[in-house]
Amino acid sequence: MKVAVIDCSVSGHRKTYYKEFTRTWVELGQEVLLIAPQDSGTGSIASFRKIDSRPLLPLPAGQPLKKKAVVLQNALIRLRNLASIHKQLDDFRPDLVYFPCLDDILPTLAPMMLFNRLLPYTWSGLLVQSALPPHKPGLPDVRPFLRSRHCCGIGVLNEYSIDALKAFQPHVRQMPDFADLTAPNDQYPLLQALQQKANGRKIISLLGSIGTRKGISLLLGTIPFLPEEEYFFLIAGKSWLTDTQTRELKAFENTRTNCLFSLEHIPDEACFNALVAASDVLFAAYRNFTGSSNLLTKAAAYSKPVIVSRGACMGQRVSDYGTGIAIPENDAEACRTAIIRLCREGAPKPENFASYASVHSRRKLPDALRELITHH
């Protein structure tokens, strides 16, 4: 079978997803074409074409009229990108098109007939953010397009969203939220600076893309109520903060002896994993976040407890598997108590982490995709 794997971004965990989906389709014996920004090390096993796509525009905060205009612009960009993908697939003519992130590929506003003409091949993919607000006809939404006659089923990371999605697509399967577990880079300069500055104190880390939804205000509100001689706090990753927010964050860091804030992109997964391995607790109490996160998988792989927001997918999983503590997302006292408890009482039982890591192992991916082929 000829399979085209298509993604238009390398941000966040996107490169990990499309790289591993490409490898897995090859392992299943399929002829694979990867269309993406980079081949990401798959060049020896799959054909590659650089995707011709335009990025979606970021939605402006607190400007409702401008936000509506950008939503409409993005709807047009999505259609333009689908037309471009159609052209790039002309000579390959795949039996299946697989999108490792359907979220910014599917249309949001368009006639179904037009979408089916732009993507006339059987298709499937992963809907990363699948726990969405109730559907309102006429408003921008990718979910109605899951009813396309060419869609043979989709995967989701958030198992708690499956029932609601079946109103749009009957074939929905949970996929493992696997992570790149490349061996940590012990020579990463930020790691060495962290170890030197922490000097034996317990390390609590917030890692990845740094924005307000990551719960920064909660963490900053908690830090002053913990003894500086016992706890050290790391915030590291590419920043999406405004200039004002960045200045405030750096000013906070300068008043403390137990903080290291590095607002630069973490170079690769080996460096990211080095910071995970060096941490005692991972802070992931995100705001208004209903999705999954493969940070939980990395945490389980390195036996690191996590603090997450109560409710939704991450909170439910941490409670079910016993891999950390779920707290109300704006409760600084609950956050302080959770940090003390996890640092002083030690990590959860090893079997808790092992159970989670097994369910979300990359080794589960071939079976999930094999099931899709069988259904197709």
Question: For the segment 150-207, what is each residue's pLDDT rounded down to a tens digit?
Answer: 999 999 999 999 999 999 999 999 999 999 999 999 999 999 999 999 999 999 999 9
How far does the chain reach from its first CA to its final CA, in angstroms? 11
Residue 61, helix vs strand vs coil? coil
Dist. CA 205–CA 82, nearest whole Å: 39
Residue 305 makes CB contacts below 8 A (sequence gap 6+) with: 281, 282, 299, 323, 324, 325, 342, 347, 348
Dist. CA 114–CA 97, nearest whole Å: 17
Residue 3 makes CB contacts below 8 A (sequence gap 6+) with: 25, 30, 31, 32, 33, 94, 95, 96, 97, 98
Q: How many other C-beta atoms lie within 10 A of the C-beta of residue 166?
A: 12
The 10s digit of each residue's pLDDT in 288-305 is: 999 999 999 999 999 999
CATH placement of domain 189-359 = 3.40.50.2000
Question: pTM (2 decimals)?
Answer: 0.91
Q: Is the pLDDT of residue 240 over 80?
A: yes
Dist. CA 331–CA 349, nearest whole Å: 26
Residue the block writes with tokens 């003894």: 227
Confidence grade of residue 376 (pLDDT, cut at 50, 70, 90): low
The 10s digit of each residue's pLDDT in 91-143 is: 999 999 999 999 999 999 999 999 999 999 999 999 999 999 999 988 899 99
The 10s digit of each residue's pLDDT in 315-364 is: 999 999 999 999 999 999 999 999 999 999 888 999 999 999 999 999 99
Cα dihedral: 183, 189, 194, 199 (round 10): 100
2-178+362-375 fold: Rossmann fold (3.40.50)
Is the Cβ–Cβ distance between 234 and 279 less than 8 Å?
Answer: yes
Share of the chain above pLDDT 90, in %: 89
Q: Is the pLDDT of residue 287 over 90?
A: yes
Q: Average pLDDT in the 265-271 region?
A: 95
Length of the chain: 376
Q: What is the pLDDT of residue 357?
A: 97
- Half-sphere exposure in the Cβ direction for 70 (13 Å, CA): 13
CATH 3.40.50.2000 domain position(s) in the chain: 2-178+362-375, 189-359
Which run of H or E residues covers position 152?
Answer: strand 151-156
Nearest to 14 by CA among 118, 113, 105, 147: 105
Q: What is the pLDDT of residue 78?
A: 97
The 10s digit of each residue's pLDDT in 39-92 is: 888 989 999 999 999 999 988 877 888 989 999 999 999 999 999 999 999 999
Q: What is the pLDDT of residue 138?
A: 85
Dist. CA 212–CA 82, nearest whole Å: 32
Rg (CA), the chain: 21
